[in-house]
Chain A
Amino acid sequence: MKVLVAVKEVTEVADDFEIEGTTVGDRYLEYDLNEWDDYAVEEAVQLSENEDDVEVVSATIGPERSEETIRMALAKGVDRAIRVWDDAIEEQDLLDVAAKSAILAAIVEAEEPDLVLTGVQANDDSFGATGVSLADAIGFQWAAVVSGVEFDLGSDLAHVRRELEGGVEELVDVDLPAVLTIQTGINEPRYASLRGIRQAQSKEIAHQTLDDLGLDPSMAESPIGLTEMYEPETESETQYFEGSVDEQAASLAELLRDRGVGDA
Chain B
Amino acid sequence: MSVLAVSEHRRGELRDVSYEVITAGRLLADALDDELHLAVINGPVDEYADSLNREGVDVIHTVDHGEGFNHDVYAQAIEQLYAELGPEAVLMPNSVNGLDYAPAVANNLGLPLVTDTIDLAHDESVVATREMYGSKVETTLEVDPPVAITIRGAEWPPAEGVGDASVEAFDVAIDEGAIGSDVTGYEEVGAGDVDIAEADVLVSIGRGIGEEDNLELIFDLADTLEATVSSSRPIVDSGWLPKNRQVGQSGKTVTPDVYIAIGISGAVQHVAGMKGSDTIVAINTDPNAPIFDIADYGIVGDLFDVVPALTEEFGG
Q: How many Å from the CB of B178 to the closest CB on chain A?
A: 9
Decide yes or no whether A47 CB sits under 8 A from chain B.
Answer: no
Decide yes or no whether A175 CB sits under 8 A from chain B.
Answer: yes
CA distance A250 to B101 in the complex (A): 51
Decide yes or no whether A249 CB sits under 8 A from chain B.
Answer: yes
Pick the residue among B100, B136, B180, B233 that contacts A175 (CB under 8 A). Answer: B180
| In the complex, per-residue mask of A240-259: 1 if CB is within 8 Å of any chain B CB, else 0 | 11000110111011011001
**A13 and chain B: residue at smallest CB distance:** B133
Contact A238 B139 (CB under 8 A): no
| Contacts of B110-124 to chain A: CB distance below 8 A | 110, 112-116
Decide yes or no whether B104 CB sits under 8 A from chain A.
Answer: yes
| In the complex, per-residue mask of B132-143: 1 if CB is within 8 Å of any chain A CB, else 0 | 111111111111
Number of interface residues of A (CB under 8 A): 86
Contact B180 A98 (CB under 8 A): no
Number of interface residues of B (CB under 8 A): 95
Stretch from B27-35, B38-46, B52-60, B307-315 at the A interface: B307-315
Stretch from B157-165, B166-174, B248-256 at the A interface: B248-256
| Contacts of A190-247 to chain B: CB distance below 8 A | 222-232, 234-236, 238-241, 245-246
Pick the residue among B144, B233, B296 that contacts A238 (CB under 8 A). Answer: B296
- If over half of B's interface residues share one DSSP class (helix, strand or loop), that class is named, otherwise mixed; here it is mixed
Contact B187 A132 (CB under 8 A): no
Contact A256 B225 (CB under 8 A): yes
**A159 and chain B: residue at smallest CB distance:** B184
Q: How many Å from the CB of B40 to the closest CB on chain A?
A: 19
Contact A236 B180 (CB under 8 A): no
Decide yes or no whether A54 CB sits under 8 A from chain B.
Answer: no
Contact A133 B106 (CB under 8 A): yes
CA distance A170 to B100 in the complex (A): 12
| Given A124-B133, A174-B181, residue A132 in contact with residue B100 (CB < 8 A) | yes
CA distance A144 to B71 in the complex (A): 10
CA distance A98 to B94 in the complex (A): 17
Contact B138 A136 (CB under 8 A): no
| Contacts of A108-166 to chain B: CB distance below 8 A | 120, 123-133, 135-137, 141-145, 161-166
**A97 and chain B: residue at smallest CB distance:** B113
Q: How many Å from the CB of B308 to the closest CB on chain A?
A: 9
Question: A169 — which chain B residues lie within 8 A by C-beta?
Answer: 186-189
Pick the residue among B135, B251, B286 that contacts A167 (CB under 8 A). Answer: B251
Contact B252 A98 (CB under 8 A): no
Number of A-B contacts (CB under 8 A): 262
CA distance A239 to B292 in the complex (A): 10
**B138 and chain A: residue at smallest CB distance:** A232
Most buried by B among A11, A130, A256: A256
Decide yes or no whether B209 CB sits under 8 A from chain A.
Answer: no
Decide yes or no whether B80 CB sits under 8 A from chain A.
Answer: no
| Given A143-B181, A259-B257, residue A238 in contact with residue B136 (CB < 8 A) | no
| Given A128-B116, A261-B201, A264-B226, residue A164 in contact with residue B96 (CB < 8 A) | yes
**B182 and chain A: residue at smallest CB distance:** A173
Q: How many Å from the CB of A143 to the closest CB on chain B?
A: 7
Contact B293 A232 (CB under 8 A): yes
| In the complex, per-residue mask of B264-276: 1 if CB is within 8 Å of any chain A CB, else 0 | 0000000000000
| In the complex, per-residue mask of B170-213: 1 if CB is within 8 Å of any chain A CB, else 0 | 00000000001111111111100000000001000000000000
CA distance A154 to B300 in the complex (A): 55
Decide yes or no whether B86 CB sits under 8 A from chain A.
Answer: no
Pick the residue among A127, A239, A253 that contacts B313 (CB under 8 A). Answer: A253
Contact A226 B294 (CB under 8 A): no
Contact B131 A232 (CB under 8 A): yes
Q: How many Å from the CB of A78 to the closest CB on chain B?
A: 21
CA distance A82 to B11 in the complex (A): 42
Decide yes or no whether B305 CB sits under 8 A from chain A.
Answer: yes
Question: B314 — which chain A residues lie within 8 A by C-beta?
Answer: 253, 262-263
Most buried by B among A127, A171, A222: A127
Pick the residue among B103, B113, B186, B313 that contacts A170 (CB under 8 A). Answer: B186
| Given A169-B189, A229-B139, A232-B138, residue A261 in contact with residue B297 (CB < 8 A) | no
Stretch from A15-23, A57-65, A69-77 at the B interface: A15-23
Contact A227 B140 (CB under 8 A): yes
Q: How many Å from the CB of B294 to the closest CB on chain A?
A: 6
10 contacts between A and B (CB under 8 A): A97-B106, A98-B110, A132-B104, A143-B181, A144-B96, A166-B250, A171-B185, A171-B187, A172-B183, A238-B293
Going nearest first, the 6 A-B pairs with the smallest beta carbon separation are A249-B309, A185-B237, A253-B313, A228-B140, A132-B103, A141-B180
